[in-house]
Structure 1
Amino acid sequence: MVTKWKNKFAVSIGLALLLLGVNSLVFTALNAEQYIFNDYFQSKYFKQEVATLEEALINTQVNPNLPIKVTIEDLEEYRMNQPDKYSQVSGIKEDPVFLERLREAKEAGDKSAVKKLEEQQNKKINEVDKLFTDDKYVTEKVKEQKKELIAQQKADWMPQYKDLSSDMHYQVTENSSGKYLDNLSDNKTFATAKTLFKGNISQINFDGQNRFDGQVIILKNSNFNQRASVKSFTEMKNLTIGLLCTSILSFAAFFVYWKKAKKRRRCTFRKSSILG
């Protein structure tokens, strides 16, 4: 009975070592290329940082400084998003607040107030009419809308732009507009500083859109190594290497344990044969 229990326990330990080795090996195999054979600047972490920098440049340095263009499609879309002309005109004419103020002005015999209210009403109706007949009027409306959107996007992306541009230098041209951008002059020691990384932004690009052409430069005296993406990559690299070592040790331990267990079984078999 005791022998059977010992055998089961030995098998359990052997299987546990084998399972640990296999799981560690599978994890290592899936992640080795990303974290062992490549460095941070070849990783998805760095590519994502560059993609974020590109988006920040578009929204804070490119779009706000380009003339706002309005296409025929923009005009059509703007008009489609408006209530129909009849509903808008009816709403203006039947506005209860307006009708009440007009009634009070007429009852008071205030012709000036009546005229002013009617002029305000006619102005609103005229603006509705322009929405559907005057392309220039709608163009200005669309421009205002786009201007507000660009300003909002700039405000939303500015914190990320400041964060990234403090650690990453760039010398690039935005392909669609031809606009040249750089932040090299922001660092007075740039000319003499040593480089940690230097590469073409179009070759690092995460999504393959190639919106920029030029260089991304990271200096050794920057705080780039303190970025969260670098720390995450380093943690995963250490984990992958650790699991590779665990896999090797587990298989080695399993082999040694299996050899010893096999030897014990032979000894037990011999004793049983002698006693028999």
Structure 2
Amino acid sequence: MTANGQTAERHVSTSRPSPGEVALFATCLIDLFRPSAAFAAIDLLRAAGCDVAVPDGQSCCGQPAYNSGDRRDARALARQTIDLLMPYRFVVVPSASCAGMLRNHYPKLLSEDPVYRDKAAALCDKTYELSAFLAALPVQQGDTPGDRRARHITYHDSCSALREVGVDAEPRTLIDQHAELKLTESAEKESCCGFGGTFCVKYDDISTHMADRKLDAFVASGAQTVTALDLGCLLHLAGRARRRNLPLEFRHLAEVLAGCCDAPPIAASKDRDDGNG
């Protein structure tokens, strides 16, 4: 959502996904807090026949600066990201929030820049959120070598997935391709988790209440694992669930689909990380 409550304009990519050269824009949050999600995304893309590159020099997409009104630094980061990613045929992002920044906001942010205006539009056209890219591939995905134990999951529709990049059915389509994954929808599947970047800092009481409502619905679903496209949402929900000692684990969708469950769940306690609890 935009600041005035209006739905953000979405730019739809017109290039058709196909196996080939793909740049993974890992995002700074995944790089710093959940690199296993990036490795899982690479496994999924390679299993689908893609030649995956992870370009050196990746940094923040500029969204925190942009949302805070710092257009100067946001533009600088946008130009840096465009220069880094333009040589590749497709750009895949394991985050709806960051994919939305590249696709929807770079063209507006650089609309008056004579050098980068057309480049921003071109990047928008070839940038995909991970699940949208995988679901649109015209070839059947190959098997990934991960953990294939049965898992009961519920899926959280992030605000960015629904409103920034229009992703809804794609994650569910991919989940349905795995017989070992049982998906149960929760009653609050499309409501905001309360993260919202700096929102959870500025309005912590409201944010906590929103997270609790989501968590209660997850528990009621009977699912073991909560998954989503956006790590920010998962970190926020997992941290609150840990404080409440709820019987839930949280994993990025890429990890669930690739069977990459060797890493501890997001925000797991130290005892659990050490295998002592």
Q: Which of the five TM-score ranges fits, normalised by the shorter chain?
A: under 0.3
- The structure number with the bigger radius of gyration is 1
RCO greater where, 1 or 2, for CA within 8 Å and sep 6 or more? 1
Name the TM-score, length of structure 2 as normaliser. Answer: 0.23
TM-score (norm 1): 0.23
